[in-house]
Each structure stands twice: as C-alpha cells, then as structure tokens.
A = this chain, B = another copy of it.
Amino acid sequence: MAGKKWLRLVKSLHQKKYRNQHQLFFIEGAKAVSTLIAAGSVPERIFVTPDQESQFSYSQTEIINEQELKKISALQHPNGVLGVFRMPSPKEISPKDWSVALDDVRDPGNLGTIIRLCDWFGIKNIVCSNTTVDCYNPKVLQATMGSIAQVNMVYSDLESYLGSLGLPIYGAVMEGTTVYQTALPASGILLLGNEANGISASLMQKLHAKIAIPQFGRETAESLNVAMATGILLSEIRRR
C-alpha cells in the first residue's frame, strides 16, 4: 500500500502553491506517464492499481488501491496510473525558431491544447505571463496528452522578458492584417491574449505586427477560440 506521506503530498499537488513549493507535479494515465518517461523525465513515484502493475517496472512504482487513488486523483474516474514528476527548470528560448507567448490565457483546456499544438508543430518554447493558468494544473495536463515533456515552459513578466529576447512579436489581434498576406520571418514570437480581453494594452505597444485570421462568413460570427487561432497561425508559420 502507498505510504500516507506520499498520499498527502500528491493531494497537496492539486494546488499551485504546493506544486511550486515542492517543485513537483503529477500526471495521470499509463500513456501520459509513459510519454513523459520516454521523453527523459524521471518519475519520483508511479502509483498503479494492481491491474496496471504489469505496465510499469520502475523501482519507483508503488501499488495503490482504488480507494486510495480516488482520494488523490484529479479525475472523476481515475484510470489506474498516477505519476509524480519533478518540474524541469525553464531553459533559454532559442532565437532561431518561433516561440509562442501567452498573455493571461486562463482556461486550462486552452493551455493544454496549445501545448499539444506546439508539440505537433515542433514549437519548443512557450512563454506565459505570470497570470496565465499554471501548466502543471491537472486540468491542463489532462488536455496535453503527455506533450508537456516536449515543450519548454517559461513563466515570466512578458513585457520585460519578450523585450529582452529581441525577436519580432506578432500579435493575434481581431483587427490585424490577414496572416495569409503577412510576410513571416524565420523566427519570432507569436503572441496570443486572454480569452475575453485579448492582448493587454501595454503589450500591444510592443508588437512588430498585428495579424488576424480573416473571416469569410457573417461579420458577427463568434470569434475563433484562442487555441483554434493558435493552431491555424502555427500552421501558417510552418507552411512557409
């Protein structure tokens, strides 16, 4: 049976405060845990229910019963595997490729989808404002499907951080010029804003260009969701 100290610790990791204090996070599901391990992350502990035991043969694997797992899981229906990992240290952003920057993206599903998109399109770095939802939030991780291990996540004050990189910043803005006719350099920052309010006024002043996905339907159509806009814009960046 899993030790009480560990169960208490995992439970505390539902909260950002304790994740940061311990520099640990957890992710659930055999596939997501395996993906992180395959990417080089070393698990601190893997808790598995008896029927899942055969899937993992690490020294850190511990058997947990269904009741215990339910207590520490973030899922309504826990799926038998929960891995605890150490947060990687943020790395420096490469000036030779595109990076994504997020200004105050609040929805965990949106951030999870954006991380997964960056994995698909080979974008190695995401810079988030300190107000953006924590990437180790269990709901974000559920939406990443293990892609979190492929992308370097940096949380910072965007104004000073992006300024220090010296790369052109392309902001996704409703009233921007169509991305289809915008020349895009080999490297830069693609900046997306908050779900309701877009990019903050102070960052708008730092933009090299405002780009938009043109609308072909009725003018009052609901705007594209931030994750969808990221997907379409990354496709535009990679197709060139």
Contacts and interface: CB of A to CB of B under 8 A. Distances in A.
Interface of A: 35, 38, 113, 116-123, 145-147, 150, 180, 213-218, 220-225, 227-228, 231-232, 235-236, 238-239
Contact of A228 (B217, B228, B236, B238): B228
Given A120-B217, A224-B231, A227-B228, 5 more contacts: A116-B222, A117-B228, A122-B215, A147-B221, A235-B235
- Nearest 9 interchain pairs by C-beta: A122-B216, A122-B217, A145-B222, A180-B239, A232-B235, A119-B221, A119-B217, A121-B216, A228-B231
A111 to B, nearest CB: 15
A238 B227 CA distance: 19
Contacts of A113: 225, 228
Nearest to A151: B217
Given A216-B121, A228-B113, A150 B239 contact: no
A57 B105 CA distance: 37
Nearest to A144: B222
A187 to B, nearest CB: 14
B119 A150 contact: no
B228 A147 contact: no
A56 B94 CA distance: 54
Contacts of A228: 113, 117, 227-228, 231
Contacts of A221: 116, 119-120, 147, 150
A78 to B, nearest CB: 21
User: Which of A214, A232, A238 has the most B CB atoms < 10 Å from its CB?
Assistant: A232
A122 B215 CA distance: 8
A216 B231 contact: no
Contacts of A117: 224, 228
A37 B146 CA distance: 43
